[in-house]
Chains A and B, each alone.
Chain A
Amino acid sequence: MAGILVYALHDDEGNFNKNSLGALSEAAKLAGELGTEAAAVIVGDISDEGAQGLGNYGVTKVYRAKNVTEGLAQPIVDVMAKVITENDISYALFGGGLLGFEIGAGLTARLGAGVTMEVTKVKVDGGKLISERPILQDSQIADVGYVSEPGIIIGRLNAFDIKETGGSAEIVDLDVELSEWSTKAQMITRGEQRGADIDIEAADVLIGGGRGLGSAEGFDGAEALAGAFDNSAVAATRAVVDAGWWPYAGQIGQTGKTVAPKLYLAVGVSGAIQHKVGMQNSENIVAINKDPNAPIFEFSDLGIVGDLNKIMPKLTEALKARKG
């Protein structure tokens, strides 16, 4: 079999990650075009029913390593390297997200394989896969091919759509011996939620706050601005959540949420790719940033180059006055 192997990430309750499900659908579609099959790899305690259920996304086999803990990359590299080598797999595909990056990178070293990351599209050409990868802040799109097998493809967040095909997958249970160094990292706690539980997914208007707000106090201004709109909330970039300025529940992007409100008003957000992929489908994007070269101006409908400390309070005031 010269198939495509996909890592399917899940949370501690056994719910599979949406980006992984998208990658399964994509792999099944590509395998159909290549005349081969797609399979999934899962680790940890997933029931037979849960594993077979991945067949609904078009994969025919699910390799399950029950004795391996989910959430750390290197043991999963051991599992995937074994499956790829023993089954002569041609490609490994990952949906967008942190773990996929780490596992894909580990496989690159382990198997001496070519890797592409932030892939937005995969094409079939002459019986091989080619990855489309935007580079240099998405100013160019590179078509990248693989010199050898396996080829490692790490998708960008939300790059692959989920398609349910119906069907059930065959489970292949694996007993994998871990590399000595894979056992040297221990998960102490996984998936801890920090800060208040705020809902940014139901809002029509989101104020997105970034590093340009300067401090946790800077978010007071963003909250005041949100207060001038109906059904609004304040969201944030990863950097400011990691800095403790805003709760994790309000985070957009690679390890946060994906949103598409009617209006996304970005204040002090530079517009790094990881943030962009989580909000670029918003109906209207307005950005305020003092740096005229900030990437966010490349994909905003209205950009204001200026000091948000001057503009934001006056804008809040003007909108409140209108509301009456």
Chain B
Amino acid sequence: MKICVLVKEVPDAAVQKRIDTGSMRLDRSGENNLNPFDTHAIEAAMQLKEGGDLQVDEVVAVTMGPGSAQRALQKAVALGADRSVHLSDDALLGSDVCATGLALAKVLESESPDVVLLGQQSDDGECYTIGAVVADHLKMPSLTQVVKMDVEDGKLRCERQAEYGYDTVSLALPAVISVGDAINEPRYPSLKAIMGAKKKPLDTKSAGDVGIDPGQVGEAGSQTTVISLNPPPPKQAGEIIEDEDTNETVEKIVAWLDERKLI
């Protein structure tokens, strides 16, 4: 069996995220990192592999993005993936959710996975939707925000919170699962794993290599268009207290609450 984990390179959380107003795209220059939500998906893959209830032969990290996205793949491999696949092509630039989902589905199809795992969201796009888009293209059942996953009779028994409480759902394989960040505590990579990451196979593929029609991806294939970007209505900035002397801080908080008749 094969597990594919979708990972993404995102601007470092500590960096102010910027938009390139010319192209209306996220400015991806500067420090990038593996999307923190994806580490839970890699950990979930490792636990399936180590758990022994499924015969997992390999865990493959898959990403789509510019050359720099290889760093995210190296992190994923250091966390335990056996090899990685990098879909990179100028034709993919400016893909919206529809086009991205299609491109990812094509590269996954070339791997024929039994399980596809991904994190609940990307740290930059806040979309939460890619898993369900990819699943429909791959014609696989899917579930998002999964916080518990067990193997039962060759199926995945998953728990997740929906509008009315917790649902328990059983999915036949192959399946696409987006995991919530409460599913596990991702392990830290060992120094040995970090050093060895560069030795594990990395395949770089173009859109043509996986049968993507360039007219269906990138700006050409996108079905949404950003018309304009505007700042939100100005909001009165709140007061900020840096806690240096806690007794003093507490006094200030109490006075503030008192002023507003909240105590």
Contact = CB atoms under 8 A, between A and B. Distances in A.
- The bracket for how many chain A residues form the interface is 35 or more
Interface residues of B, number: 81
Contacts of A146: 223-225
A117 B140 contact: no
Contact of A115 (B129, B136, B216): B129
A191 B181 CA distance: 20
Nearest to A303: B240
Interface in B2-49: 13-14, 17, 19, 24, 26
A141 B229 contact: yes
Nearest to A306: B243
- Most B CB contacts (10 A, CB to CB) among A114, A194, A229, A284 go to A114
A135 B134 contact: no
B182 A243 contact: yes
- Most B CB contacts (10 A, CB to CB) among A71, A184, A186 go to A184
Contacts of A108: 97-98, 101, 129, 133, 136
Interface string A235-255: 000110111000010000001
B257 interface: yes
Nearest to A147: B223
A66 B134 CA distance: 27
A114 B251 contact: no
Contacts of A192: 165-168
Nearest to B97: A115
Given A140-B230, A185-B143, A263 B257 contact: yes
B127 interface: yes
Interface in A297-324: 297, 299-307, 310-311, 314-315, 318-319, 322-323
Nearest to A103: B132
B135 interface: yes
Interface in B95-139: 96-98, 101-102, 105, 124, 126-137, 139
- Most B CB contacts (10 A, CB to CB) among A17, A140, A185 go to A185
Interface string A141-185: 111111110010010000000000000000000000001111011
A168 B16 CA distance: 50
Contacts of B260: 284
A109 B249 contact: no
Interface stretch (A41-49, A72-80, A214-222): A72-80
Given A109-B136, A180-B139, A242-B180, A98 B145 contact: yes
A83 interface: no
A184 B223 contact: no
A293 to B, nearest CB: 7
B224 A185 contact: no
The 6 A-B pairs at the shortest CB distance, nearest first, are namely A306-B243, A114-B223, A242-B182, A105-B132, A191-B164, A109-B136
Interface of A: 9, 11-12, 17, 71-74, 77, 97-99, 101-106, 108-110, 112-118, 130, 134-148, 151, 154, 179-182, 184-194, 205, 229, 238-239, 241-243, 248, 255, 262-263, 273, 284-286, 293, 297, 299-307, 310-311, 314-315, 318-319, 322-323
Given A191-B165, A293-B13, A302-B240, 11 more contacts: A12-B164, A98-B144, A108-B97, A109-B133, A109-B137, A117-B128, A134-B232, A184-B175, A185-B141, A185-B170, A188-B170
